[in-house]
Amino acid sequence: MPSTLRPPTAELKFPSLLTPEALETAAGPVTVRLDDDSLKAVARCHDYLHTCLEKGREIYGSTTGFGPLVVFAGQDEGADQCENVLSHLEVGQGPDLDPPVARATLLTRLWSLARGHSGVAPTAVEALVAMLGTSFAPVMPEYGSVGASGDLAPLAHAIRSLQGRGNAYLGAMRMPAAEALAAAGLRPLELTGRDALGLVNGTSVTAAGAGLALAALHRSVAAGTALTALLAGVLGCRPDFTAPEIFEALGHDDTAYRAADLRERLTGHEPSGTRALQEPYTLRCAPHILGAAQSSLRHARQVVTDDLNGISDNPLFFPERDVVAHGGNFFGQQVAFAADLMSITAAQLANLAERQLDLLIDTRRNGGLNPMLAEDPGRDHGVQGVQLAATSLVVAMRRAATPAAMQSVPTNWHNQDIVPFGIQAAFTALRQARTLRLLHGSLAVALYQAVRVGARRPTAPACTRLLDALEPTVARDRPWAVSVREAADVLDRAC
């Protein structure tokens, strides 16, 4: 198991801005360095919690039961109260979250707790730091949270893993959590006070899922732009649809930016002179679709980044003001809305890629290339199967784009009488982002295949470089499915 114990290769410092891209670094071991002031703030808040309890102040989750059972007293001992909260929340169902998602979740939770307003013990924060420095990942089931009062069930399973109970991953290997902790050199997490509630009572699963989706979708906008340029280059289209005057008149900055990116990628492009004056909308309006996607993702980035760097917990403690504030900073509505917007955006980018693929294989519109881009039509079938699979993927994405953020169902004895379902919105967005990569991979291999069967090589250097980067993915002895996935990887790196 030595490979799972490799030293951290990334470093993050707290306090600093936690970005969607920073979440991706948590896929492997990452060193997190908390400054002295932050560690002191965590300790000060923890001490303040206990001072309040000694004075007999009523504090949700510390002196009370949970949810609608707040009217009843909780367990007398802190460790028993921690067990009290976890035992009734260990109810998650469904597939495990991918280990990188689970690790990004705990990085997000660390960023909230390290702000020093949750009252958890410093040892709880230190345990998350230590875990992130290894390849350990808790087993977290996808379903069980309604996105309010925190992502309770998935996070409860995560904390059980850190206690050495249930299961966990070490690298890609799933095993009993106690074995994974021992192999990673970690000690089982010991909880007291409100540690358990502080660890589960936030929307960190939602924020992490949305953040990872956002990072992937930003790459997909760049990939969609590069593939549009390559399509124009392979077909020999007129570049008029990228003229700056069009977008100055339009007035949408993000759309103008995407058009400028297309113009740059088409520098050196020479039209064939055989195309119609105006291209179908999948080319002519591509800057508008890509620009609208960029605008939507810019809004989502602000929302998700705010959430990643805020505090989602209840209650919150402000020792400097002698305030214990009971509220609703566990309600993930903001990210739920943003994640639904990401899903819709991804679906339209998928529509664009699938329609561009259809344009490329259609002999009436592709300049007379072989049908289905077959080398010997009938004896082989080119990318016919690739398009069929792409059609399946795009319809799956359309169906998945149904918003989750307004699917409220009252629950929890009407304590949670309105809920945002942010976690389902976030994971739908993440699945959409992953599927969109396959649509772009499908278009990429078709573009390479078009040149293989007689389309001209593009004259713009940027397009030629991308075409050459795709060449190793489209070997004749390789299944198309493998080529599509490898082309998606190339796009991630090249765009």
What is the DSSP code (8-state) at residue 458?
Answer: P
**b vs e for 72-94, b when ≥16 Cβ sit within 10 Å of the residue's Cβ?**
eebeeebeebbebbbeebbebee
List alpha helices for 236-272, DSSP H.
244-250, 253-265
Burial 200-238 (b: 16+ CB within 10 A, else e): bbbbbbbbbbbbbbbbbbbbbbbbbbbbbbbbbbbbbbb
Burial of 354 per CB tally in 10 Å (0-12, 13-18, 19+): buried
In whole angstroms, give the CA distance from residue 254 to residue 287: 9
Q: Pick the closest to residue 256 from 205, 295, 207 (CA basis).
A: 295
Burial 327-347 (b: 16+ CB within 10 A, else e): eebbbbbbbbbbbbbbbbbbb
60 is catalytic: yes
- On whether the CB atoms of residues 154 and 97 are closer than 8 A, the answer is yes
| CA proximity to 39, closest of 21, 14, 64 | 14
Residues in the chain: 495
| Catalytic-role residue among 48, 60, 169, 448 | 60
C-alpha to C-alpha distances, 11 to 7, 16, 29, 100, 304, nearest whole angstrom: 11, 12, 9, 16, 21
Cβ pair 256, 325 in contact under 8 A: no
List the one residue out of 196, 157, 200 whose CA is nearest residue 177: 157
The closest alpha carbon to 315, from 106, 57, 99, 60, belongs to 60
Provide DSSP, 370-393: PGGG-SSBTTB-TTHHHHHHHHHH
Catalytic residues: 60
